[in-house]
Structure 1
Amino acid sequence: MQTIIFLGSNKSGSSRDAIRAASDMGYFTVLLTDRRKWIKQREEFPDVHQMVLMDRLLDKEKIFRQLSKINNQGKQIKAFVSFIDPFVSLAAEISKELGLQEVSVAALFKMEDKTRFRDELQNNPVTPHFSICLLDKDENELFTEHVKKLPAILKSPVSNGSKDVIKVNSKEEFTEAVHHFRNQLGQDPLLIEEFISGPQYLIEVLVHNSNTTIVAIIEQEISSMNRFIITGYHMPARLSKHARETLNESIGQVMKDIGLSHGTCHLEMRWTEGEWKLIEINPRISGSAINQMILESTGISLVKETLKLHLGEKPDLTPSKVEYVSAEFITVETQGRLVKVTGKNKAKKIDGVKMVYVKPRKGSVLTPPLSMGDRYAYVLASSSDPLKAKEIAKRAAGEIKFYIEPL
């Protein structure tokens, strides 16, 4: 029985899309997970043919014990992959040790930590000014030594989804942020970067045998500039010829410098004063609705083509269509317990709406957004006209209402 094993997954989004894709491709799917409640919700995972509960997904020894059991069940492991942090490079390393298709393990490892990829790309022109420091000095010393210009961005090296990313506009805000990070990081380093202005784009990249393909360029709409919560995505992004040409050059050089010759990643970049600056890079497709957006816009299932890359097959990244697609995400303004959600069916009936997703269940505690995980619903809409796609997504999102009981 030909089997693909997934190390971790979210309940929805690109990582779950990958499991569904593997099942649709005819593979037996095994999910190694540390989410205990999913065992009780087992009927909600029909695409997961076998679910294995583990207490630690970063423990290689325990993973290999599970793999031995799976082999003894007569299952032939064809790929061992992960689509979520912080397991991507570990899955690639295990895949190599199993004698499966090799991907660029070292490059994926560098991308999993912001200090590692900043160091690796420090001489690349896309890299903004940055500094890495330990929080073993007082705030005045840290500010004088590491902040060249305000505003500045403070980040945890292993944050994802805009978690633990704070913009500071003054010395007082810097001091508050350092106190926050002392509690979060302990002895771990803090990353301080210059703030880059300009429109921001998500770029999805697949590299097959050193051939780099930009699969998608998606414009991002940021609603909170202090926490960088992205509530709108628009694809394909409309760029000038010059911006697109320089983006291709920049991405090619980044892949070369970081050593990604076989694998996937996504980058967040800003177009500022006629040049590209790298904000983030991560060793996987972006999560949430991004795979579905790319599919609706181009006909390409990026998670499926990523699986083919891990299976030693040649990915097919030829678009079968061109549609404008917008995704609108919904957050809440107050904290409380969810009583009910209305408007989902009404939103679905709007012409052009492709998907409506609501994440929390009744009784969940909702909070104003501090990270991308605090986005509680989204609408996906498409049209042959970019402004129409955006208008449909916003109108449909406006139909969805969260009723919250204060705590």
Structure 2
Amino acid sequence: MAKRVLILIEGAGNNMRLYVQTAQRLGLHPIALSADPARYDYLAAEGIEAIRIDTGNLDALVSECSRLGATYDIAGITSTQESTYATVGNLCRYFDLPGPNATSIERCCNKFVQRELLAEAGVPIPAYRLAANAKDVESAAAEIGLPVILKPAVGSGSSGVRLCRNVDELAEHTSYLLGGKHIWRSSPRILVEEFAQGPYYSADIMGNELVAICDAEFGPHPHFVFREATYPALLTADEHNRIGDVSLSCLRALGLGWGPTNIEFRWTKRGPVVIEVNPRMPGSPAPQMVQLAYGVDLVTEHIKLVIGDEWNLRRRHPQIAAARILLPDRDGTLDWIDGDSRATAIPGVAEVKFYIGPKTPIVRKGDYRDWMGHVIAASPTRARTKTILQRAVDLIDWSIIPFPAEKE
């Protein structure tokens, strides 16, 4: 009997590792297709078959999957990466496998198109304008009123996203985005957006069902780098229902509703305002936290959907789960980082993970690439979880040696 294979197109952060491990636990043989398999060091470490291929070339992927299909039973095809998720939808349609709607994913990944569809459906969103050059940015910011947020119209992980509080910051970040320093995945287009102020919430949806809501905090402005998140969010029943109602409105407006969706909100004077709809699984450590807080394994249930099995989103053993992201306070070379074993030994600590090791050069980007690791804690109460988390974080330390000063 041919092995049942789960094909993974590229991957993002630690989520791909979760998908690989979950696939194996479900009796599937994972195969990774990537333009650069060496990016995912754990594939080789865990003996996972990885094939180098241009994942931006649909014809090449169809050909490769057809070749694999001659040897294996392809149970499903998926990805943890937003930029390749539409391609996954096209592959699934070609091979008659369960998968997302590629057109809906493509529309959603263009933040301007997403905004247009949400606005047309009456979903509450910040004021926004699309800009192609510095003059457009300046004009849009004047219309909306400072402060504004500048972000690439296509992108993820807060890359290139910045709060601009005055005209100098506006000009500086516009120059950064359009001056060749930012790597664009599409033609350069900037979304100029009202800064919606208020508590941040994130809703995790599978299919058409709201599974979880977290609240989170960021590091210092002008960037938006996550610092801490807690599941479930501290909300009244009415607030929870309002976020749920707006979330479902987003799915309808964007033609989503298959597989995972992550929706980000700010709670403003208008109530929940949608910041972004991400047509994918939230990044690690969110899946681990949802499992701890709600008893729902989002990765397992997504893979079941991908391979055509029946899923189960029933909630079990409610807890409060919180995570702290480990962030560097300076640029330089990581000399050492430790304390993970001591932190893990604390009762209630669920996971301590370092993403980098000694001798790693650190150049802060103001986005998800700044993350050095995370700590997750869980307990029956919010106060106890926060106490456990802080105790664990206090045991972790590192040393960053500044880069040598350049000689004039």
Once the two structures are superposed, the pairs formed by residues 8-407 of structure 1 within 5 Å of their partners are 8-10=10-12, 13-37=14-38, 42-46=43-47, 48=48, 50-54=49-53, 56-72=54-70, 74-123=71-120, 124-135=122-133, 137=135, 140-141=138-139, 143-144=141-142, 147-183=143-179, 184=182, 188-207=188-207, 212-368=208-364, 370-407=366-403
Q: Secondary structure at the match of 1:338?
A: strand
Distance 1:326 1:41 in 2: 26
Q: Which residue type is aligned with residue 53 of structure 1?
A: R
Residue 40 of structure 1 deviates from its aligned partner by 7.2
Distance 1:57 1:350 in 2: 42
Contact 1:121–1:127 at 8 Å: present in 2 too? yes
Distance 2:283 2:10 in 1: 13
Contact 1:227–1:371 at 8 Å: present in 2 too? yes
Q: Secondary structure at the match of 1:121?
A: helix
Distance 2:35 2:328 in 1: 28
Q: Which residue type is aligned with residue 125 of structure 1?
A: V
Distance 1:278 1:39 in 2: 32
Distance 1:363 1:36 in 2: 22
What's the % identity of the aligned pairs? 21
1:92-137 Cα distance to aligned partner (Å, 9 max, x none): 1111111111433222222222112112112323211111121163
Residue 177 of structure 1 deviates from its aligned partner by 1.5
Q: Secondary structure at the match of 1:393?
A: helix
Contact 2:137–2:192 at 8 Å: present in 1 too? no
1:205-232 Cα distance to aligned partner (Å, 9 max, x none): 111xxxx211110111112231111110
Q: In the superposition, relative to structure 1, how do residues 346 and 14 fare at CA in structure 2: closer, same or farther (>3 Å)?
A: same
Q: Secondary structure at the match of 1:87?
A: helix
Q: In the superposition, relative to structure 1, how do residues 141 and 198 fare at CA in structure 2: closer, same or farther (>3 Å)?
A: closer
Q: Which residue type is aligned with residue 205 of structure 1?
A: I
Q: Secondary structure at the match of 1:360?
A: coil
Give TM-score, length-normalised by structure 2: 0.92
Tell me whether 184-193 or 92-101 shows the greater mean CA deviation: 184-193
Residue 163 of structure 1 deviates from its aligned partner by 1.1
Q: In the superposition, relative to structure 1, how do residues 285 and 270 fare at CA in structure 2: closer, same or farther (>3 Å)?
A: same
Q: In the superposition, relative to structure 1, how do residues 121 and 42 fare at CA in structure 2: closer, same or farther (>3 Å)?
A: closer
Q: Which residue type is aligned with residue 87 of structure 2?
A: L
1:319-353 Cα distance to aligned partner (Å, 9 max, x none): 12101000011111111111111211111111210
Distance 1:2 1:167 in 2: 47
Q: In the superposition, relative to structure 1, how do residues 143 and 19 fare at CA in structure 2: closer, same or farther (>3 Å)?
A: same
Tell me whether 182-191 or 375-384 shows the greater mean CA deviation: 182-191
Distance 1:121 1:140 in 2: 24
Distance 1:140 1:25 in 2: 53
Tell me which stretches of 4 or more aligned residues in structure 1 moved more than 6 Å: none
Distance 1:98 1:121 in 2: 31
Query: Is there any run of 5+ residues in structure 1 with no aligned partner, and where?
Result: none
Residue equivalent to 2:406:
none
Give TM-score, length-normalised by structure 1: 0.92
1:143-181 Cα distance to aligned partner (Å, 9 max, x none): 44xx42111110011221111001011122111111111
Q: Secondary structure at the match of 1:391?
A: helix
Query: Is there any run of 5+ residues in structure 2 with no aligned partner, and where?
Result: 404-408
Distance 2:40 2:169 in 1: 43
Contact 1:224–1:230 at 8 Å: present in 2 too? no
Aligned residues: 396
Residue 78 of structure 1 deviates from its aligned partner by 1.6
1:67-98 Cα distance to aligned partner (Å, 9 max, x none): 122123x2011211111121111111111111
What RMSD over aligned residues (CA atoms) do the two structures have, in Å?
Answer: 1.9
Tell me whether 361-370 or 251-260 shows the greater mean CA deviation: 361-370
Q: Which residue type is aligned with residue 97 of structure 1?
A: Y
Distance 2:295 2:66 in 1: 37
Residue 403 of structure 1 deviates from its aligned partner by 1.4
Q: Secondary structure at the match of 2:266?
A: strand
